[in-house]
Amino acid sequence: MPWRAGSVEALVTLVSHEVEEGIRKRFERVQEMKEGAGKSVGRGREYVAAYVAFIHYAGGSWNAAAGPAGHAEHKAEGPEHVH
C-alpha cells in the first residue's frame, strides 16, 4: 500500500489520478452517446445508462471526498446512527 511508505503523498496522487481518470472516461462516454441518443430507442437507452453511470461515479466520488473522515465523526451523529 502506498501510504505505508511513511508519506501520504503517494496515496493522494494515486487516488486523485484514479478518480480523475474515472470521471473523464465516464464523461467522454456520455458525450459520445449523446450524439446519437435521438436516433433510436436503443441509442437513447445507451445514453441514459452512460449518464447514470457518470452521475453515480461522480456523486460517489464527491460523497467519499466530502463526507466524514472516520468512525469518530460517525459517532457524533447521535445514538440513532447504526452501522
pLDDT in tens, 67-82: 887 665 555 444 454 4
pLDDT in tens, 20-73: 999 999 999 999 999 999 999 999 999 999 999 999 999 999 999 998 876 655
Residue 20 forms part of a structural domain: yes
Q: Which residue segment(s) compose the domain that 36 sits in?
A: 2-75
Q: Which residue has the cell 500500500?
A: 1
Residue 49 forms part of a structural domain: yes
Confirm whether pTM is higher than 0.85.
Answer: no
Output the nine-digit C-alpha cell for 69: 473522515
Residue 45 backbone dihedrals phi, psi, to 5 degrees: -65, -40
Residue 13 forms part of a structural domain: yes
How many domains does the chain contain in total? 1
Q: Which of 14, 22, 8, 11 lies closest to 62 in space, CA to CA?
A: 22
Residue 50 forms part of a structural domain: yes
